Structure 1
Amino acid sequence: MDRPDEKTIEKVLVGLATQEEARLVARWLATEEGSEYFSEHFYKECEHFSQEDAELLVNHEIPGDKMWEVICSRIRRRKIKRYVGRVAAVLLPLVLVIGLYFRLDSRVNLFGTGPLEELYVPKGERIQMAFQDGTRMYINSDSHLKYPVQFGLGDREVEFEGEAYFKVAKNENRPFIVKLGDTKVKVLGTSFNVNAYSENEQITVELDEGKIDMVLAKGDEVRLHPGESFVYDKATCMYRINKVENVGNSSVWKDNILSFKDERIEDVMVKLERWFDVEFVVDTNLADNILITLSSQNATLESVLSELEMISPLTFRYEKKEKKVYVEELD
């Protein structure tokens, strides 16, 4: 953590600091840098108790060297005791605060510095999960999530790759951060869909309700409003904001609905590979003008392939044991 300024540290050491300042300095004193600072500060103060200081308190001639040594020794002991007493009066509450912080941290991860858990949702599966702050997350197939077992006192932060729908519990003092590579979604209390598979050329975030800020690699922030989508090109680092015609349509997958609207057949097959955990095998290049519009709930792979054959110039042969779908274009 950053070192507090000298004025704040001094206020704490002399007992004039506020509780917030004391907590700040206490956390810093618990670091290696803080411990070294305090040790140096203490010894420097002790070195100030020199013979010159002792002479100021003796207003008569010293009867002898032995007496001189006894008097100086007593003066030093008293001054050191006063100093140690003053330091202890300040330090003991700080030690208690530090101890309390780290005792609580060991139980609830106050500082959010614990190891991250990793979750992978394989192809053909979708799951729901809830965090301890009340945030819910619906995770689509072939997605990766890294998250703390418990959020700390600061930001609530996760790392994600794939597709997911978030319903974030509102907390204005603790933003929820979703890291998508070098881009972040900063959330206060919101529902939104994220599509950020590693192989995709773009990251798409569609906001249903609430508000979010997209934090770009250079630190710039872009505000997104309900009914808008943020499309970010990974290669060029350029982005655009689009108006969404049917809000929520991109996230119907969480209700087990397959939905495509004017999507290229190649993109449709990629989504079906994740959804059903199969591989599409295409021997020839398909026509670029094959666009698919289809919606189906709780569908099987066989039923989806049958519907695709009805609306496209393609035939599909599903080999269940191989988990492969062979695709051919009609003459």
Structure 2
Amino acid sequence: MNNKQIPYDILARHIRQECTDDEQRYIENWISSSDDNKKLFEQLLHEWEYIYDSPEKIVYPDKNNIWDNIQTQLFASVAEASYSKKLLIKVCSVAAMIALIIGAATTLIIKSAADSSFLAESITTIETMQGQKMQMTLPDGTQVWLNSESKLTYSAAFNKSSREVNLEGEAFFDVKKNEKKKFIVKASNINVEVKGTAFDVSAYSADENIIVSLLRGKVGIVSKDGKHLTDLESNEMVVVSKKDLQYSLYKSDAETHRAWIENELIFYNSDIHQVAKKLERWYGINITLINPDEKQKYTFSVKTESLRELLELFNKITPIEYSIKGKEVTITHR
């Protein structure tokens, strides 16, 4: 096991004494595998006991100090995650009661005696900057990979009465199946509704279309006002216009659209503007195109190549000149 991948969701269940026998053995082995793991567990346990020290009363500890301690540990764990770039994670909460934050998914565990009206107001926001990616686990066990320049938000009521998230940018979801609670991704002016499946949603604010690609299962595409647009089967993709909700349905290799979570970017029959947008997000740069070839289509992949290596490869496909000045890149077609 990689000790850098901290099982916050199972740790939370262990602390609440909700683990299965297998999870209990897993956590015991994880805690004993390193001093860092043991130290982290003791800190989380201490904060939990600080809030819940008595079943007869609610305790109001120094919440600013507790938040500082947990936030420090969260950012330390993120720095060791599989994506080495520093992530920007904003956790915005208007709840007046104490919340214990556990996990890279930033799950809010709120004391059951707290006023339930605060649940609807408490919001978790997770955001990546240009050139960054991250993986997280939502409170229901759903796995999410968040692409560059993307933002995911959900309320503290998530997985209680409903499972709804808001997405700006791109994310791949591997949804924990729950027949009783639909999982809904709100992206721009459509909703993607599922019960348990794996799919990619691209809904960047600068893009004219929303793209949903389904790896397995079945999803429904619904407008914000509840109008059903279409359903997707495995290895199908839908492109929905933000302007008028007109859509086109295609057969598509969904593995191509999820390749970015494996650190690979694949282009298939893409025009220069589509290529430039994705490269900007991938490398964390700004691209200026001069005299672009509007008719040329590109099919290639990027994995471990540096920006300069990629531009040299690009030059073999179509003659270009380029310059790199910090984050500013100029590509001139000859």
- Give yes or no for the alignment of 1:317 onto 2:328: no
Residue 224 of structure 1, CA deviation: 1.5
**Cα distance in 1 for residues equivalent to 2:259 and 2:127:** 21
* Alpha-carbon spacing, 1:286–1:112, altered in 2? closer, same or farther (3 Å): same
Greater Rg over alpha carbons, structure: 1
Amino acid at match of 1:272: L
Match of 1:307 among 313, 323, 329: 313
Q: Is the CA contact (8 Å cut-off) linking 2:291 and 2:333 kept in structure 1?
A: no
Q: Equivalents in 2 of 1:159, 1:313: separation in Å? A: 41
Q: 2:298 matched to 1:292?
A: yes
CA deviations 1:206-242 (Å, max 9, x no partner) are 1110111111133122222111112111112211221
Structure 1's unaligned 5+ residue stretches are 1-101
Query: Shift in Å at residue 178 of structure 1?
Result: 0.6
Assess, with a 3 A threshold, how the Cα gap between structure 1 residues 103 and 164 changes in structure 2: closer, same or farther. Answer: closer
The offset of 1:154, in angstroms, is 1.8
Residue type of the alignment partner of 2:234: P
Q: Which residue of 216, 226, 237 corresponds with 2:234?
A: 226
CA distance in 2, matches of 1:104, 1:110: 12
State the partner residue of 1:267. 274
Q: Provide the C-alpha distance between the structure 2 equivalents of 1:218 and 1:194, rounded to a whole number of angstroms.
A: 19
Q: Number of matched residues?
A: 224
Letter in 1 for 2:262: D
Which residue in the other structure is 1:207 paired with? 214
Contact conserved, 1:140 with 1:162, CA < 8 A, in 2? Answer: yes
SS of residue paired to 1:172: coil
Corresponding residue of 1:277: 284
Change (3 A) 1:288 1:105: farther
Give the corresponding residue for 2:37.
none
Counterpart of 1:45 in structure 2 is none
| Maintained 8 Å contact 2:120/2:157 | no
- Give the conservation status (yes or no) of the 8 Å contact 2:171–2:202: yes
Match of 1:147 in 2: 154
In 2: Cα distance, 1:182 partner to 1:212 partner: 16
The structure with the greater share of residues assigned to helix is 1
What TM-score do you get using the length of structure 1 for normalisation? 0.64
Tell me the TM-score normalised to structure 2 length: 0.63
How far apart, CA to CA, are the structure 2 residues paired with 1:300 and 1:172?
44
Taking the aligned partners of 1:187 and 1:150, their CA distance within structure 2 comes to 18
- Give the structure 1 partner of residue 258 of structure 2: 251
Q: In the alignment, residue 232 of structure 1 is paired with which amino acid? A: V
Q: Counterpart of 1:181?
A: 188
The residue aligned with 2:250 is 242
- Unaligned residue ranges in structure 2 (runs of 5+): 1-109
Query: Displacement of 1:252 after TM fit?
Result: 0.2
Instruction: Measure how far apart 1:111 and its partner are.
Output: 9.4
Name 1:326's counterpart in structure 2. Answer: 330
1:150 and 1:300 map into 2 onto residues whose CA distance is 42
Q: Distance in 1 between matches of 2:157 and 2:138?
A: 8
- Residues 189 and 242 of structure 2 are in contact (CA less than 8 Å); yes or no, is this contact kept in structure 1? no
Work out the percentage of aligned pairs sharing the same amino acid.
32
| Structural RMSD (CA) | 2.1
1:158–1:105 Cα change, 3 Å: farther
Match of 2:204 in 1: 197
> 1:114 offset after TM fit, Å?
3.7
- Superposition map of 1:107-186 within 5 A: 113-149=120-156, 151-186=158-193
Local SS of the residue matching 2:287:
strand
CA deviation vs aligned residue, 1:284-316 (integer Å, no higher than 9, x gap) = 331211221111322221111111111112122
Distance 1:152 1:218 in 2: 23
Residues 103-122 of structure 1: per-residue CA shift (max 9 Å, x gap): 73739x69951421122210
Name the aligned partner's letter for residue 240 of structure 1: S
CA contact (8 A) 1:123 1:275 kept: yes
